[in-house]
Chain A
Amino acid sequence: MAVASIPMDKQAATFRTCPVTTFKVDLAAEKLIIANAVAAVVFLAIGGIFSLLIGLTRVPAIHLLPANWFYRSVTGHGLDMLVVWIVFFEIAGLIFGTAIMLNARVVAPKFGWFNFGLMLVGALIVNVMVLIGDESAVMFTAYVPLKAPPLFYLGIILFAVGALLAVIMSFVNVVVAKREGKLNGSLPLVVFGLITAAILAIYTLLNGALAYVPAFLYSLEVIPSPDAALYRNLMWGFGHPAQQVNLAAMVAVWYALAWITTGANPINEKFSRVAFILYLFFINLGSAHHLLVDPGLSFGFKATNTSYGMYLAVLGSLIHAFSIPAAVEVALRKQGHRQGLLGWLRNAPWKEPGFGGMVVSMVMFGWIGGVTGVVIGTEQLNMIVHNTLRVPGHFHATVVGGTTTAFMALTYYLIPLVFRRELKFKNVASWQPYVFGLGMLLVAIGFIATGLQGVSRRHWDISFAQAAFPSAIPGTVDLTLAIAGIGVVIAFIGGGMYLWVVLASVFTGKKTEANALMLITPMWSQPKIADEEAEHLQPRGTFALVIVYLFFFAAYYLSNWWLLGGRVWGIR
C-alpha cells in the first residue's frame, strides 16, 4: 500500500491543547493553516480591487477603465476570486478538518509547504501575466483557439498541481489518523462535508489538467488548436465542478457555524450525509450547464447532464436547506426560545458574525443563486440566458454571496482559535456580513435584471458606440446597471471591513489564548432535554420557511418558461 512508506511510529508532531475546543492542535498544521489563510486573504484583496474597477466600468455613466484594462481586470478578477482565494481558503479548511478536528497531525508538513509554494508561485505568475500585457486578457475561460502566452497557462497548471497534492495530503491525514487510533467511528459531519469537497476536487483538477495542458502546448505551438467544443467540455469539467467543491465546502462551513454560534447538531446525521453523497455522485454532471446552446451535442446528453441525472444534486441542496435551519431551530428551542413558529429566529444571535454570515450566505445561495441556477441550467431556458449578465448575476449570488460570505464569517473564529490573537473591531465584524450581503444582493439583482434585457456579460461597451451597427438595448439598463454599481461599492466596503478586522487582528491584535468560542454574544448552553420528540421542539418554523422558499422557486422558474414561450421566435 502506498501509505506504508509513511513513518507511522515516530510522531514528530508537537501538540498544544486548545483551551476552548479541547482539540489537540498540531503546531505544524497550525502554521500551514495560517499560511494558506493569509494567502487567501491577500488574493481576495487583489481580486477585490479588480472588482471595484470592473463594477465602475460597467455602470454606463462612469465607464471607468479603457477597453484593454477592463478585459485584463475581468481575467484577473475571475481567476483570483473564483480560484485562488477560494482554493487557498479551502486548503486551510481541509488541513483544519483533517488534522485539528480529528486531534491528529499533518502527516507531511514539508510536503504541505511544497504544495503551498507551488500554488503561490502559480497564482503570482497568473497575476503578473494579466498585469503586464493584453495577450493574457483571455478571461478565466481562456477558450481556444484564443491563445495566451505559455506562462499564463503554466501559472494555472502550477496552482492546480499544488492544490491537487494538498488535497491528496488531506486524505492521507485521515488515513493515518485512523491508523494511529485518533479516529474511532465516523468522521464528524463537518469533516465529512470537507472530504466530499476534496473528492470532488480531485475530479475537478484532473479535468483542469486535460483542458489546460493541451492549451499550454498549443500556446507553445507544439500542437494545433484543440477542438473548441471538446475544450469547452473539459474546461467546464474543471470550471463548474470547482464551484461544486466550493458548494460542498460551504455547506460544511454552514454546519460548523451553526454549531459554533447556536450549538446546533444535525437533526439527523443520515439525512445530511446522504445529501453530501448526492453531491458526490451527481453534481459533476453540471459542466453541461455551459454547453446547452453548443453545436454537436444531442438533447439527451444536454438534458440528462444539465439536470444532474434527475436534479438529484439539487435534492441534496434542498435537504441541507431544511436540515441546517432545522438544526438551529431545534437547538434554540431546546434553549427555551419556543414562542410561536419563528420565535427562535427572533432570539437567534444576530450580532454574532458567524450567525449573520451563515444566514446571509444561505439566503444568497439558496434564494438567489440556487433558484437562478436551476433556471439557467434548464436546457431550453438557457437560450434566453446564455452569456447574458444573468449568468454573472447567478454566480455572484452562489460563489460570492454564498461561499465567500461563509468563509469570511468562519475566519473571525479562526483568529482567536488558530492565530491566537484577540479579535479587534468586533462591532465592525458584527455588521460586516450584512453590509457585504446587501452589496452582493444588489449586484446579483442588478445583473439579473440587466441580463433579462439582453445585455451580454463581459462587454466593455454595451452601447456599441464604435461598432458597425448600434444594438437595440433598452434605456432601462442604465437603471439596472446603476443598481449593480451601487451594489459593487457597498460590497467593496463590506469586503474592506472584513480585511480591516482580519488584518488588524492578525498583525496588531493582543497575543492571547482563546477563552470563548463566541465572539460577541454570550456562549450558548445545551440544556438537558428529556423528551427529544416533544412537539414544541419540532422544527415547524423551518418547515414553513422552506415551503415559502419552494413557492418563490416555482414562481421564478415558471415565469421563465412564460418568457421563453411567449416572446421568442420559433426555434428548432
Chain B
Amino acid sequence: MLAPPRVWWKPLGRLEKTWLYIALAWCVFLTAMMPLWFIYGKQNVPVESYRTTPEQHQKATEAFAAKYKVGEETALKIPVVAPPPGDIYMYGKTWSWYPILKLKKGQTYRLHLSSLDLQHGFSLQPSNLNFMVLPHYDYVITLTPSSSGTYSVVCNEYCFVGHHLMVGKIVVQD
C-alpha cells in the first residue's frame, strides 16, 4: 500500500532464496514431464490433422460406412460398421455421431474425425478420452483399444440447445 524506499533492489533473505530455488526446480520438472512423456509415454495427444471440407468428409465417411456395414441401429438407422485395422471415419453433426464403430481389442486404427456443422467434442466414456472436432479439420487419432466393451461417444462441446442429445457408440470386441 505504501510507496517503497527509493532503492528497493535488495538481496533476498535466506528463506526466500531457498524457496525460489525449490520453486524453480519444480517448474523445470513440470516442463520436462511433457517432452519425456511425448517420447516414452503410450498416451499422447494426436498431432496429425488435415484440411478438409464438410462435403468431402461426409462423402469419405459414408463410403467407408457402406463398405464395412454389418447392421443398423436406432430409429435413425445409423449404420454399424466393422472395419479392419487402418483408416476409419466418423463425423459429428447436430445432434448425432455417424456411424457406430465395431473395433477389435489390441488392433490399431486411424480414426478420422471431423464435423459437418458446428464445433463438437469427442468424449469417449467411460474411458474418459476427449478431443475437439472442428469443421474443416480432419483430426486423425491413432488409437489402440486396450479393453473391450461398449463405449459411448458423448459430445462435450456445447453445440446449441440439443447438446445433451448427441451420443454415439463404439463397441470393442475381444
- A contact set with B: CB distance below 8 Å: 67-68, 71, 101, 134, 137-139, 141, 143-146, 184-190, 227-229, 232, 255-256, 259-260, 265-271, 273, 292-299, 302-303, 307, 310-312, 314-315, 318-319, 322-323, 326, 374, 378-380, 382-388, 452-454, 456-462, 464, 466-474, 538-540, 542-543, 546-547, 550, 553-554, 557, 561, 564-565, 567-572
Q: Contact check, B4 vs A185: say whether CB atoms are below 8 A apart.
A: yes
CA distance A451 to B110 in the complex (A): 27
Residues of B near A469 (CB, < 8 A) are 74, 152, 167-169
Stretch at the interface among B43-51, B56-64, B83-91: B43-51
Taking a contact as CB atoms closer than 8 A, the residue among A186, A453, A454, A550 that contacts B123 in the complex is A454
Q: Contact check, A472 vs B152: say whether CB atoms are below 8 A apart.
A: yes
Residues of B near A229 (CB, < 8 A) are 134, 137
Taking a contact as CB atoms closer than 8 A, the residue among A190, A326, A461, A557 that contacts B1 in the complex is A190
Q: Contact check, B156 vs A571: say whether CB atoms are below 8 A apart.
A: no
CA distance A268 to B123 in the complex (A): 47
Q: Contact check, B1 vs A383: say whether CB atoms are below 8 A apart.
A: no
Q: Contact check, A380 vs B41: say whether CB atoms are below 8 A apart.
A: yes
CA distance A188 to B4 in the complex (A): 6
CA distance A480 to B114 in the complex (A): 33
Q: Contact check, B130 vs A464: say whether CB atoms are below 8 A apart.
A: no
CA distance A371 to B27 in the complex (A): 12
Residues of B near A387 (CB, < 8 A) are 121, 123, 130, 156-157
Q: Contact check, B145 vs A385: say whether CB atoms are below 8 A apart.
A: no
Taking a contact as CB atoms closer than 8 A, the residue among A467, A538, A553 that contacts B165 in the complex is A467
Q: Contact check, A145 vs B125: say whether CB atoms are below 8 A apart.
A: no
Q: A260-B1, A380-B44, A571-B142 given as contacts; is B125 within 8 A of A134 (CB)? A: no
Q: Contact check, A294 vs B76: say whether CB atoms are below 8 A apart.
A: no
| Pair count A-B, CB < 8 A | 296
Q: How far is the CB of B32 from chain A (nearest CB, A)?
A: 9
CA distance A265 to B156 in the complex (A): 46
Q: Contact check, A378 vs B16: say whether CB atoms are below 8 A apart.
A: no
Q: A299-B38, A387-B121, A468-B76 given as contacts; is B1 within 8 A of A137 (CB)? A: no
CA distance A425 to B68 in the complex (A): 72
User: What are the nearest 9 A-B pairs in CB distance?
Assistant: A295-B49, A295-B139, A269-B8, A570-B144, A311-B27, A456-B156, A318-B23, A387-B156, A295-B137
Q: Contact check, A472 vs B30: say whether CB atoms are below 8 A apart.
A: no
Residues of B near A564 (CB, < 8 A) are 41, 43
Residues of A near B168 (CB, < 8 A) are 468-469
Residues of B near A547 (CB, < 8 A) are 22
Q: Contact check, B3 vs A187: say whether CB atoms are below 8 A apart.
A: yes
Taking a contact as CB atoms closer than 8 A, the residue among A67, A228, A571 that contacts B143 in the complex is A571
Residues of B near A557 (CB, < 8 A) are 30
Q: A303-B34, A472-B125, A540-B15 given as contacts; is B130 within 8 A of A384 (CB)? A: yes
Q: Which B103-159 residues have C-beta < 8 A from chain A?
A: 108, 113, 117-119, 121, 123-132, 134-139, 141-147, 150-152, 154, 156-159
Contact of B53 with A by CB under 8 A: no
Residues of B near A267 (CB, < 8 A) are 13, 16
Q: List 22 A-B contacts (CB under 8 A).
A: A143-B119, A144-B119, A189-B1, A229-B137, A267-B16, A299-B44, A307-B30, A380-B45, A387-B123, A387-B130, A387-B157, A388-B130, A459-B163, A466-B164, A469-B74, A469-B168, A471-B152, A543-B19, A568-B129, A570-B108, A570-B146, A571-B129
Q: Contact check, A571 vs B18: say whether CB atoms are below 8 A apart.
A: no
Taking a contact as CB atoms closer than 8 A, the residue among B6, B23, B33 that contacts A378 in the complex is B33
